[in-house]
Structure 1
């Protein structure tokens, strides 16, 4: 049997024979686990590094092979690993932001106007629960003392590939700065300390400014988010087609293909990248977790053409885009806009990150694949 490398995969080990509770080895190194008669191993949870996982069966050590793993688990782990750490480069362009009066499900705050955006790189998936934790564990030693634990939307169940949720806008900014520091990038988000000195935003809540020329990670602006969602100037409500049913039932066919919403989610979020990506190869832009954006929220964006808009200078709420697993189809449209207080932590809201300046991380060649992850219906 040829050993297989579980690309970014940890293992769920459950013993049918002994009725033991499922266990997931920590991904800190090579793990040895005793397999008993009737054991089922499923490559199911994705972490951040590649390794061969050594297991012991009785007293005979061996390397697990494809024959030891359920085919579905192998396929899922390998396919998801190809996209979860990829950043797609989006070239500059002009598009029509918002929606026209005739669009089904339209709200009054979806101002229709031409917008031009500069190039940026955007993460192919929402930040996952696993990614959140792997960065957060470096927080305290780097001065980030109050990063929220976050959640995976599953009431404590293992769901490493679910988008992280229950994080505030402040949390998302701090996490971006921490990830930037870990990777020797210049953090984007800055604050003034009590003496008026400019410093990296690490704790608390404050008036935060963004260094748009820094090569660190940040939230997308609302315009960047919609440009990436629409893949330039598509007027489709979803990247899979136009909306036909704005509610929950009957299930809108195009939304069902694009993402998880109240009509197909069974009341919970799902692992990222299981639905069809858009033309920029971005997943879950519609549904699953709604996504924080940088901008202060305003009801009307005006109709004047804008270049790289970044929202109002002040406001009490921040923009949230994309809709979630708990929303009807209308709220998951490309033009749909929502807002929350920056301190809000909802089990429906997570985030996606971008790099506006400098190169994106180089993907592992094994992960950088053009194949589409298997969809779940």
Structure 2
């Protein structure tokens, strides 16, 4: 088990019986995630990512405008700023509104939130006073705090007694819930239990399963135990409790079962909040484009593809979001400055970093401990990034790499049905309007978004740089999933690349073309990425 975590989900509600989720204009959110602490011995791995992921629930599942929620990460989350943002909720929320608060970081028995400047804890009284001052009809406060377990050997005692880092007991959450009528508090574990994270999840165990229930429609509907097309807070709690128990001995807690049964988090008898227009995420700077649910024929349907593009098959996909452009050097630098250029994966039995910054083709440099794009390359797609680096970036940004099926569906999308041979067109004669490739390249990458977009509004799906996908390489589609999932079974050492690049011919830019070229631990001058997010 990695750095031990325990997650406190504080869900607050002022409730007449059965409270539905208010509309986006009547919902507010505050997400706090602290992985970096002063002192650094208290640092965590995924608390900032947990907060970003919860913000995706607010934005993409509930449809909140960016003016209705805020994110504080790492150094931003110092004590005064947290106090200010709690005050912001007190000013903004009105009777009849709902408020969600999410916290991921350390906690102490009488200080459920430990800010970046850890010598100044956010006291229980500060939190309960804020809750009492929020005028909303119901408030949902989710916190992810670290148990002391393995911190004692990290030299933290000079700054803070590591033994004091703990969780919230059931008695304490019941006491806190009395701050305001209707308050419901859910925690990932009892106060004295260790709550952990798994490497495979790159989240706290509780947070991971909570997000599965909140974001994945299949899990949400399974959690609807009475099948009334509504998911209550208590049903979500039961589903998360069961899932957590399969992974570890943590016992999530809830302060009031009766009250939580009246709080409706989502309903399937109302139109969903799936955003129909591109949206720029303030946390990452990414513009995300909605890709509607649908079915398409995956593989070579034009008769000039390779054997590894066959046999064709019908694939059905749920709706998702995709970054409008390839990830740029400037965007990737935000990630590197938050997480560093960490070592992950191997190449020729040697460890490799996420970005091969030493290669002359890399357009990112490091100076004075900070990463920045080389002059003139901020809006060019990042290159020399390994598959591991691409995956790490997507996870940090709250999404993931696309599956091959998602990538081809989005690239080939054609209004009115069917599919385009290339992204935006079926004619190679007009490909230069949509793509930077061998005949239209000037022997280099180009700023993203300068050619015409395809029918979904996605840029450079053909050309500019190849894009990593989640899937393992397979020689054909025999046995491939037909539901849009990534295909990760088999013994291939390669991962899939899609889309063609600035120094490749038009045939490589076909939407159905698939390649591997290099190992996942090898960054190349044509390897880039884009992100998907599933609502």
TM-score, scaled relative to structure 1: 0.56
Q: Does 1:161 align with 2:338?
A: no
Contact 2:326 2:530 in 1 (8 A): yes
Q: Give the superposition deviation at 1:266.
A: 1.2
Q: Does 1:170 align with 2:377?
A: no
What is the CA deviation profile of residues 288-347 of structure 1, one whole-angstrom value per residue up to 9, with x for unaligned ones?
011000000101112777112311324211010000001000000001000131112111
Distance in 2 of aligned mates of 1:82 and 1:117: 23
Change (3 A) 1:356 1:218: same
Q: Does 1:279 align with 2:455?
A: yes
Contact 1:262 1:328 in 2 (8 A): yes
Change (3 A) 1:143 1:303: closer
What is the CA deviation profile of residues 338-372 of structure 1, one whole-angstrom value per residue up to 9, with x for unaligned ones?
01311121111100001113xxxxxxxxxxxxxxx
Change (3 A) 1:267 1:143: closer
Aligned residue among 152, 158, 176 for 2:363 = 152
Aligned residue among 346, 351, 364 for 2:529 = 351
How many residue pairs align between the two structures?
Answer: 231
Listed as ranges, the matches of 1:1-377 within 5 Å are 85-100=286-301, 102-104=302-304, 106-111=305-310, 112-140=312-340, 146-148=353-355, 150=357, 151-152=362-363, 157-179=375-397, 216-231=398-413, 233-243=417-427, 252-302=428-478, 306-314=482-490, 315-339=492-516, 340-357=518-535
Contact 2:438 2:503 in 1 (8 A): yes
SS of aligned partner of 1:130: helix
Contact 2:481 2:487 in 1 (8 A): no
Contact 2:343 2:353 in 1 (8 A): no
Deviates more, 1:290-299 or 1:134-143: 134-143
Distance in 1 of aligned mates of 2:438 and 2:343: 39
Distance in 2 of aligned mates of 1:140 and 1:171: 11
Structure 2 gap segments, 5+ residues each: 1-278, 345-351, 366-372
SS of aligned partner of 1:307: coil
**Structure with bigger gyration radius:** 2
Distance in 2 of aligned mates of 1:148 and 1:142: 8
Change (3 A) 1:82 1:266: farther
The ranges of structure 1 where at least 4 consecutive aligned residues each deviate by more than 6 angstroms after the TM superposition are 81-84, 141-145
Which has the larger share of helix?
2
Distance in 2 of aligned mates of 1:317 and 1:149: 18
SS of aligned partner of 2:496: strand
Q: Give the superposition deviation at 1:239.
A: 3.7
Structure 1 gap segments, 5+ residues each: 1-80, 180-215, 244-251, 358-377
Distance in 2 of aligned mates of 1:337 and 1:217: 22
SS of aligned partner of 2:401: coil
Q: Give the superposition deviation at 1:141.
A: 11
Distance in 2 of aligned mates of 1:343 and 1:156: 23
Contact 2:326 2:460 in 1 (8 A): yes
SS of aligned partner of 1:109: helix
Distance in 2 of aligned mates of 1:126 and 1:291: 8
Aligned to 2:38: none
Contact 2:341 2:354 in 1 (8 A): no
Distance in 2 of aligned mates of 1:226 and 1:352: 13
State the superposition RMSD in angstroms: 2.9
Change (3 A) 1:297 1:274: same
Change (3 A) 1:268 1:108: same
What is the CA deviation profile of residues 58-110 of structure 1, one whole-angstrom value per residue up to 9, with x for unaligned ones?
xxxxxxxxxxxxxxxxxxxxxxx98973201112110001113x534x21111
Change (3 A) 1:133 1:310: same
Distance in 2 of aligned mates of 1:343 and 1:297: 14
